Amino acid sequence: MSPGRPKVTLELISEKQEELDGFATSRSLPHALVERARLVLWSAEGRSNSEIATRLQWSKPTVGRWR
């Protein structure tokens, strides 16, 4: 058994995925919204909290909270 809380699998419906893709690539939206969209998309791909934290330059607890 692994330590910590178990991760819930995240599956996005296609229209939400398209909306998040638009947010994640936007150059006019606030930066925080763009990063949160990336976090959700990467979580849905199955990436680890550690990997997401490194890519976003966030702490692991912050990624876990938003995930």
The string of pLDDT tens digits covering residues 19-32 is 999 999 999 999 99
In this structure, are residues 30 and 37 in contact, taking their beta carbons and an 8 Å threshold?
Answer: no
Asked if pLDDT for residue 65 goes beyond 80, the answer is yes
Q: How many CB atoms lie within 10 A of CB 40?
A: 19
In this structure, are residues 8 and 49 in contact, taking their beta carbons and an 8 Å threshold?
Answer: no
* CA pair distance 62, 47, nearest whole angstrom: 15
Residue whose token pair is 């995930």: 67
In this structure, are residues 57 and 32 in contact, taking their beta carbons and an 8 Å threshold?
Answer: no
The string of pLDDT tens digits covering residues 17-63 is 999 999 999 999 999 999 999 999 999 999 999 999 999 999 999 99
pTM attached to this predicted model: 0.82
